[in-house]
Structure 1
Amino acid sequence: MRALTHCTIYTGKAILTHHAVLIDNEIIKDVVPQDLVPADVPTTDLQGHDLTAGFVDLQLYGGKTGFFVRDLSEESLTDMVETHRQDGTVAIVPTLYSTSLQRILKAIEVTKAYIASGKTGVLGLHIEGPFINFVKRGAHSAKEVRVPTQREIQQIINKSEGLLTVMTIAPEIWPEELLQLIQNSSIILSLGHTNATYQQAKSYFANGIHLATHLYNAMRPFESREPGVVTAIWDSPTANASIIVDGYHCDFATVRIAKQLMGERLLLISDATLAKIEPMRFVFEDFTANYDGQRLLNDTSLLAGSAITLLDAVRNCIQHVGIPKDEVFRMASTYPAQHIGVSDRYGKIKAGHSANLVVLDEGQKVVNQVKNGKFIA
């Protein structure tokens, strides 16, 4: 056992000072007042820095070199895990953009194999499209975006059994019987890349869909006569939404407004196509992404994902949006873990949770990390 001392602990519920975190192997044993740490327990002095649960990213496509929908390999997943781990993301849900059924099924197979091998850091798979609205496809392939078929959906359901799976869909383009089929499965549905009306979106949220993909982007916006999907998300108490806070996908003011309206229902994602990269051009099939050092644009000047990590989004929320630090940490760890059902292991500094923690300085720079109970930085 080891005690982490002399730090400000952001537990996911409270902010504690003069306390210590006790770690036993890979698990958090307890959080206790510092003067109650047993004398025979070795201690690590964190020198007054912040200690938070590691971040959980529900939507990202690649790491520094790996791009999962292209590679469909465990090596690609390893690159994603290691790249984002450098910035405090301890668990990811690798994401596919709109692609063929063959690639979707292969991605499920590879993700299952990665997890079964005992490797850590990957929680499941996010299938973003291809069953989305063509007019709201954004940078998604015009060749791949389509209305689902019974054969495709049944195969995805069968193949993904036993794997935590999220699927972003535009339900307004789905045949009713297929929407019922997917809702009766274990797949977590997220409303996104959708041109649904306000009333349609409200109905979907009232009838079992409780998540929305990247608020504001690729969805019918707010208008005075047609409030759109954006307002339906704000206006539905059971609707939670991810948001990309890179300064390009949405203005910081709109993040602040959404936070005021949604509170704990808003969570952070990176939406990283690639991360920790130099300016470059990326091409795979008909997907293009040109990185100028700040943002990724495809050849028609549409945003093609981001090049940030969750830590960049955390900094932006604290420094530019003005959200209190403890709440931002929850947006990057506690809330994502809750919304995909892994809050018994991730998202909090609490007895029984995995010891995957991040030590940050006052400017939210990573000072040190605890991976499965051991320091890695």
Structure 2
Amino acid sequence: MPFTALSNCAYFQDDQLVKNQEITINGTDISNIGDSNTTQESEALVIPGFIDLQIYGAGGKLFSAEPTVEALTIIENDLLKKGTTSFLACMATNTPEVFNACIVAAKEHRKIARNCLGLHLEGPFLNPKRRGAHVEAHIRKASLDEVKALLDFGDGVIKMMTIAPELQDDEVIQYLLDNDVIVSLGHSDASIEQATAAYDQGVQTTTHLFNAMTPIHHREPGIPTAVFNHHKAMASIIVDNRHVDFEVVKFSQKLLKERLFLITDAVTECTTGPYQHHLVGDKFVMPDGTLSGSSLTMLQAVKNCVDHCDISLSDALKMSSLYPAKLINADNLKGKIASGYQADLLVLDQELNLKEVIFKGVSIPN
């Protein structure tokens, strides 16, 4: 089979930066890593491709506003050029008709998908008290029959769902878990006891830590404390200093370590439908001024972790790749540079600027 190699590069082996390496690619996978046949100092840093499990749009397309195969293809191609080699297309609370259209498009797109892994449904089974920018009229409690019908119609494209567990019946949550949907606690007014019970039941993670949830209070500990104290619960976080202050990211990473991962929660300009996002400075807001989404890329989130949050580069890279890969049970294939792993690789210069994207062993043109 044809193969290629990245020579005279550096990469992180666990937390150790190893220099003067040659990464050999055979087909779509990494086949070997060894010393380069040169003593020249490494110029390039090679890292795993980014995995973003919550993004609404890119390339000027908001998926829920344009639920088509064409829009999803534009989104994934734009993300791929920016280094996101795996992602879940996210949908906010909306009408059943919009949800169905997005699911139909995702099922059709699956035949040609490159880096899109499926859908993350953020809603509609949320708590209206913590709705944030979500449309309250469409928020509701789930019924087991509705969830069964939704997953049947989804035919495997629904990979993740954000819910407010304090408002859902245990049988609904258990059905989602039994059908291999990653369940995330979010847009929730749960107490620490309710959140802990959800994690104990099997809810794996938490959507955009600190945003749209009960806060930490010294007499009412809230959801973040439940996450910090749990032995397994993970959480995503938006590192843009708008959704969460950098100082809060700093202590959260020290507490959660491998249980904290990066998302962008990124949107794009949109002037149609219920989610009309307008860029104000470096953040997106709704027409009424409500913070709605970020303008982050995964690379900028990594840089923010390193530059502002006292997080090492090796840890920040794991937060953007290995840890989300573990959540989606793909850490034996993605999120790491090792023999047998998929050759989803990014080449950075010494200033952490993106120079090349390699996806399944193929260089992606800018």
**Taking structure 1 as the reference length, what is the TM-score of the superposition?**
0.91
Larger CA deviation: 167-176 vs 149-158 = 149-158
CA shift, 1:261, in A, is 0.5
**Which one of 80, 85, 94 corresponds to residue 80 of structure 2?**
85
Structure 2 residue 354 is matched with structure 1 residue 360? no
For 1:66 and 1:33, the matched residues in 2 are separated by: 43
User: Is contact 1:53-1:357 (8 Å) kept?
Assistant: yes
Runs of 4+ in 1 over 4 A off after TM superposition: 11-14
2:101 corresponds in structure 1 to: 106
Structure 2 residue 257 is matched with structure 1 residue 263? yes
Structure 2 residue 12 is matched with structure 1 residue 18? no
1:307 corresponds in structure 2 to: 295
1:178 corresponds in structure 2 to: 172
For 2:176 and 2:26, the matched residues in 1 are separated by: 41
Structure 2 residue 217 is matched with structure 1 residue 215? no
The code of the aligned residue for 1:4 comes to L
User: Is contact 1:28-1:355 (8 Å) kept?
Assistant: yes
**Which one of 131, 155, 173 corresponds to residue 125 of structure 2?**
131
For 1:195 and 1:35, the matched residues in 2 are separated by: 58
The code of the aligned residue for 1:366 comes to L
Q: Deviations over 1:252-278 (max 9, x none)?
A: 00000100110110000000012xxxx
CA shift, 1:364, in A, is 1.8
1:41 corresponds in structure 2 to: none
SS for the counterpart of 2:276 is strand
For 2:322 and 2:175, the matched residues in 1 are separated by: 30
Task: List alignment gaps of at least 5 residues for structure 2.
Answer: none
The code of the aligned residue for 1:354 comes to Q
- Going from structure 1 to structure 2, the CA distance change for 1:83 and 1:153 (only over 3 Å counts) comes to same
Larger CA deviation: 228-237 vs 15-24 = 15-24
SS for the counterpart of 1:284 is coil
CA shift, 1:363, in A, is 2.3
CA shift, 1:289, in A, is 1.9
The code of the aligned residue for 2:199 comes to F
User: Is contact 1:12-1:53 (8 Å) kept?
Assistant: no
Structure 2 residue 29 is matched with structure 1 residue 27? yes
CA shift, 1:81, in A, is 1.2
What is the RMSD computed on CA atoms of the aligned residues? 1.9
For 1:360 and 1:132, the matched residues in 2 are separated by: 39
User: Is contact 2:81-2:364 (8 Å) kept?
Assistant: no
User: Is contact 1:12-1:349 (8 Å) kept?
Assistant: no
Question: How many residues get paired?
Answer: 362
Structure 2 residue 159 is matched with structure 1 residue 165? yes
Give matches, 1:60-71, under 5 Å.
Answer: 60-71=55-66
Q: Deviations over 1:97-144 (max 9, x none)?
A: 001233223322322222223x31111110000100001010001111
SS for the counterpart of 1:186 is coil
CA shift, 1:228, in A, is 0.3
CA shift, 1:29, in A, is 0.7
The sequence identity of aligned pairs, in percent, is 31
**Which one of 226, 235, 256 corresponds to residue 241 of structure 1?**
235
For 1:34 and 1:288, the matched residues in 2 are separated by: 51
CA shift, 1:174, in A, is 1.2
Q: Deviations over 1:34-90 (max 9, x none)?
A: 249xxxxxxxx9961110010010000001221111211111111211222222111
